Amino acid sequence: MKTMDEARLSERKEVLRDFFGGADAEQLSDEMIRNLFQFEELMLKYRCAIREVTTKLEVLNDELSSSLAHNPIESIQSRIKRPYSIARKLNDLGRPGTVESIAQNLNDVAGIRVICPFINDIYDVAEMLLRQDDVVLISKKDYIRSPKPSGYRSLHLIIEIPVFFSTQKESIRVEIQIRTVAMDFWASLEHQLYYKSRSAVDADIARELYLCAETIAQTDQKMQELRDRIEDEKNKG
């Protein structure tokens, strides 16, 4: 009688044989298939971690929206790093391209982007999330108070949270980027401009992008001031 692993191995080989065609599939060793199993299982763990953090953020948004009379979170987006991006980053780090190496060396395989209306919302959401006793802060980079030379602004957190599976509990790392709608607008457009033409972007264009980031930052600050004034007027009334 086949063990579960042997059955899975046989099933995967049949799928790959159907997909690639006989000869190509037969060249895949049992070790390669097992590595595929391990990679799939690791990606499942990252997806579960994203689900855990997303739920925490949604609960915070519900709570804060009732007490602050506005939603501090506009949207929550998530992604799992693509295999070729994982391989490229490991290569850049000079680390082996193994499943074990992914978990040991990369903190941003599971990523969540939180979009907030106002600057203060960013810090409120981050503070309340980190206050939870099962959330461990691994690193924090505040690119809002200290922007990147390009003008990029965002608050980056690497956290570790426990994820409960059927037979065990594992601590999984997740990267969280928290930014305003305006910051996200600039970052998305900057990425589009650079994505296929990074080598063609000269210093003048880089400076124009930086000035756009400064303009957006000033707008963010002004909108925060206006919101604070409105809140002060409401409290006086």
pLDDT at 4 over 70: no
At 78 the pLDDT is: 96
Which of 20-29, 84-93, 134-143 ranks highest by mean pLDDT? Answer: 134-143
pLDDT digits (tens, 9 = 90+) for 137-150: 999 999 999 999 99
At 66 the pLDDT is: 77
pLDDT at 36 over 80: no
Mean pLDDT across 167-187: 95
Contacts of 155 (CB under 8 A, 6+ apart): 122, 123, 126, 140, 141, 142, 143, 144, 177, 178, 179
Cα separation, 74 vs 144, in Å, equals 18
Cα separation, 79 vs 61, in Å, equals 20
User: pTM for this structure?
Assistant: 0.84
Mean pLDDT across 90-105: 89
Q: Which of 100, 49, 122 is nearest to 79 (CA)?
A: 49
pLDDT band at 25 (very low <50, low <70, confident <90, very high): very low
Mean pLDDT across 186-212: 79
Contact 154, 187 (CB under 8 A): yes
Query: Domains in the chain, start-ordered, CATH in brackets?
Result: 8-236 (3.30.460.10)
Contacts of 234 (CB under 8 A, 6+ apart): none
Cα separation, 176 vs 172, in Å, equals 13
On the CB side of 27, CA atoms within 13 Å amount to 4
Least confident of 95-99, 143-147, 174-178, 233-237: 233-237
Q: How far is CA 110 from CA 2, 26, 170, 204, 236, in A?
A: 34, 33, 15, 35, 44
Q: How far is CA 198 from CA 92, 137, 151, in A?
A: 18, 33, 16
Annotate 26-40 with b (16+ C-beta within 10 A) or e (fewer).
eeeeeeebeebeeee
Contact 233, 227 (CB under 8 A): no
pLDDT digits (tens, 9 = 90+) for 108-165: 999 999 999 999 999 999 999 999 999 999 999 999 999 999 999 999 999 999 999 9
At 72 the pLDDT is: 92
